[in-house]
Chain A
């Protein structure tokens, strides 16, 4: 199993994400944003957290136009798996791979703490290691995590069981308490909380481990 973790100028969770993949049994390639292609045989792409391009213009907007993002879009169009965490979620919405957008937190403050996250569906490669309704503790660390989608998009996400995670206590104003969503084919996950920061005993919590472990069993190359 092979994972590619994209590295942008300003990424700061790329190595954490790589370690989480490695601990789940993946061979990981770090891929620079100027590369125009993913390595051969990649099963899943990880788009990490951080502050790509200094969050200039809008979070993730400039990263979404980078050469590697075109390759990531093609990979997901072929049915490939991808996960975007925090800034990675913002980038996936800016590329159009996932619907909606992430706005400034309603309370205007950067928030960095462990929050309660409710698993809304176990019907995905990312969440099948949990039971729907489980509440897990995962850290958030963001200033622009306020998920927005128009009413029609929100209804579609909910009708198609594509809300992966919700906050037990909404920290940022997200519509429908949404913390993470799935693509229509359920092979792309975007989420603001950081499962890779709760994947080792040294982190003070391991509730994120099940996400990476579940991924390792079922992937087929795109």
Chain B
């Protein structure tokens, strides 16, 4: 089983890297870009028997810092 975890900064938390990418795109002439948020994608390869609850625990304890980040789990 494989799972893909998307980790993004919460709305309202400043993302200076996303902001720098937005500036760069604007400087390249992509005037249509109004906002950029940058996050992480973490692919997990899991042994048989792993549950969604296990993945949630991994996210809560390590993969995301829920003070500043939110996450979504996608089973693939």
Using CB atoms and an 8 Å cutoff, list the residues of chain A in contact with chain B. Answer: 57-58, 61-62, 65, 93-94, 99-101, 103-108, 146, 148-150, 173
Contacts and interface: CB of A to CB of B under 8 A. Distances in A.
Given A103-B14, A104-B16, A173-B16, A148 B68 contact: yes
Given A108-B17, A173-B16, A103 B62 contact: no
Contact of A101 (B16, B17, B63, B67): B67
Contacts of A101: 65, 67-68
Contacts of B16: 103-108, 146, 173
Interface of B: 9, 13-14, 16-17, 20, 61-63, 65, 67-68
A58 B67 CA distance: 12
Contacts of B20: 108
Nearest to B9: A103
Contact of A104 (B17, B63, B65): B17
Nearest to A62: B62
Given A100-B67, A101-B68, A57 B62 contact: yes
A65 B62 contact: yes
Nearest to B67: A101
